[in-house]
Structure 1
Amino acid sequence: MGAGANLHGRSFEEVLETIFASADDLLIVDPITDAVESLTALATTADDPPRIRVLADESLLKDVMDDFVVASNAADHVDAGTLTIRTGSSGHRNPLAVANGTVWSLVAVGDNVAALGTDEDSFVDTVDDLYESQWQIASDFDLRTPPISRVRETLGAEIGEQTREDFDATLDALKSARSATAEFDEVTLTLLVAARNDVLLYDISKWGEDVGIASKATFSRTKTTLEDEGLIRTEKVPIDVGRPRLRLKLNEDRFDEATPEELAAVTLSHSA
């Protein structure tokens, strides 16, 4: 056991942050949900993150990437070349982290996380050879969520800077307000923000489909649900040719000031 190889913390994020500090190339094998979420969060905040490779069970990846915040940030790192995700499982009970000549077994017990490590050369070489061979035959994970940077950039350019600012503020409020397990519907979030800014349904749904959030049909169905629940209303806007377009508006009877925090709370309650 290499001196000082073991790490302890209150969360995966705390332990992985220590590994990040000295790693150039980090391989994570069989992570649990908390570990994937922590990796994504750390890669987002780190000034110079290592190159990260994740080899994980496909069903776990699908579950964790169902979270828009995690998936859209992960997509940013994939686009930047910082993160590569492939599907595969070794059957280990605990996640493994391999970086800079050390192998750690990541163990979570209650509110504590430990990384039990060794830097014994022959063992590390064996682990490297085993998982490099598994990595080479593994398939890339199909991450269908668009990168959050692209969402923000195109929302501001195509819909308006105020709408983008409201989207960012509401998303930040959502991340602060929700519990660790609470999920929310990004289409609901987008439509509420659009309604706060009197955006046309056609414009926001076309943007949403083009950027990869959801189809126009999904936006339309969600709009109808929000309208039926009295959260938003629509006004017809005549156009030169064809049917009138619908302008989205918040139902003032359901909102006090429609702050980002209020929109976030409504989004969470609607998604529950």
Structure 2
Amino acid sequence: MGQTSRAGVYKDLLTDSLSEAVDEMIIATSQLTVIETLVEEIGSSDDVPNQIKLITTRDTLQKADSNFVVSSRLNQYFDEGILNIRTHPEDHPPAVFVTVNQITYVHPTSGGEGILMSTEDEEVVISVREQYITRWKNGGQFQLSNPSYARMLESIGQDLGGSMQESIQSVFESAGLSQRDGTQMDEVDVYLLMGALNEKQFYQVCSWGEDMGIASRAKFSNHKRALEDAGLVTTEKVATDVGRPRQRLLLAKETLKNASPQEVIQVAQSVV
């Protein structure tokens, strides 16, 4: 009764499993790849469930939380009422998608491939769904450490200007930054480099970052020094009416003065 299986590219199978215009779906996973795919699909597709309950292990969620873009998107979707998250210590299959009338399992094989198995058998669906509803009810809360992506963009536009907002959005939404691939830059470096590209005052950038919960002023200062030592960022003094002069962030390399945000990041990734 309604049982299917097929092989294919693992990520494509995950995407297909999410493309269900249903009211509610429970997703259980122990894999970061599944959470990253979920973040991408909610942000780019209309064919996703109206409400998603995500069950995962604390360890997997901590890995997701360490990726600024993934974490801040998860928080945004929580704020929007699309996504809720619980942690559960039991091992989960790589990816299980549970709706009121279908259970879908997606397992990775090798070389980026995978296999999808689904069933609409009523007894199986009821049994498995009850199992994951129980896991959901018994699951723990997890506080993501990064602010909502949408709130962050709105705030940076208000406090640091439209050009800074556009630069940050361009970088965080470019290929290679939505998933941790070994070359992803720390978000503090991204803010400082985009601040330098837009010639913003260091005080304004780090004050905004601390107020938003991105990082402390001390961390911004440490990262600024590291970027200066790497020959990527420099500063110039800006006179103020009261108190000590402040520093304006500038790109140290002349070749980057008219570069795009992505080009600045690419050069920085090759250096730091």
TM-score, shorter chain, exceeding 0.5: yes
Which amino acid in structure 1 is aligned with residue 159 of structure 2?
Answer: E
Shift of residue 120 of structure 1?
1.8
Letter in 2 for 1:17: D
Q: Does 1:212 align with 2:213?
A: yes
Give the 5 Å matches for 1:196-235.
196-235=197-236
Moved more, 124-133 or 88-97: 88-97
Amino acid at match of 2:125: V
Q: Which residue of 2 aligns with 1:43?
A: 42
In the TM superposition, residue 55 of structure 1 has moved relative to its aligned partner by 0.8
Which digits, 9 at most, give the CA deviation of each residue in 1:134-190, with x for residues without a partner? 211211221111122112111111101111112222334453798744322111011
Consecutive unaligned residues of structure 1, counting only runs of 5 or more, are none
Distance 1:71 1:60 in 2: 12
Please tell me whether residue 73 in structure 1 is matched to residue 73 in structure 2.
yes
Determine if contact 2:86/2:142 at 8 Å carries over to the other structure.
Answer: yes
CA distance in 1, matches of 2:42, 2:262: 26
Aligned length: 270
Change (3 A) 1:139 1:178: closer
Task: Tell me if 1:137 matches 2:138.
Answer: yes
Match of 1:101 in 2: 101
- The answer as to whether partners of 1:75 and 1:147 remain within 8 angstroms in 2 is yes
Using the TM superposition, name which of 16-25 and 93-102 deviates more.
16-25
| Matching residue's letter, 2:134 | S
Residues 163 and 11 of structure 1: CA distance in aligned 2, closer, same or farther (over 3 Å): same
Give, in whole Å, the separation in 1 of the partners of 2:177 and 2:186: 16
**C-alpha distance in 2, partners of 1:80/1:207?**
23
CA contact (8 A) 1:40 1:73 kept: yes
Secondary structure of 1:163 counterpart = helix
Give secondary structure in 1 for the equivalent of 2:259. Answer: coil
Check conservation: 2:19, 2:47, Cα contact below 8 A.
Answer: no
Structure 2 unpaired stretches of 5+:
none
SS at match of 1:21: coil
- 1: distance between equivalents of 2:135 and 2:9? 31
Q: Which amino acid aligns with 2:231?
A: G
Give the corresponding residue for 2:116. 115
Please say if 1:186 is aligned against 2:187: yes
Following TM superposition, the consecutive aligned residue runs of length 4 or more in structure 1 with deviations greater than 6 angstroms are 176-179
Amino acid at match of 2:32: T
| 1:135–1:270 Cα change, 3 Å | farther
CA separation in 2, counterparts of 1:29 and 1:226?
40
Relative distance call for 1:200 and 1:173 in structure 2 (3 A) is same
1:62 counterpart residue number? 62
- Alpha carbons 1:52, 1:84 under 8 Å: kept: yes
TM-score, normalized by length of structure 1?
0.89
Q: 1:202 deviation in Å?
A: 0.8
Distance 1:220 1:163, change over 3 A: same
Question: Could you tell me how far 1:56 is from its partner in structure 2?
Answer: 0.7
- The TM-score normalised by the length of structure 2 is 0.89
Equivalent residue letter for 1:220: S
In structure 1, distance between residues paired with 2:209 and 2:172: 16
Aligned residue in 1 for 2:83: 83
Give % identity: 30
CA distance in 1, matches of 2:175, 2:268: 8
The root-mean-square deviation of aligned C-alpha atoms, in Å, is 2.3
- The C-alpha deviation readout for 1:88-112, integer Å capped at 9, x for no partner, is 1332443222113211221111232
Distance 2:183 2:27 in 1: 25
CA 1:177–1:87 in 2, change beyond 3 Å: closer, same or farther?
closer
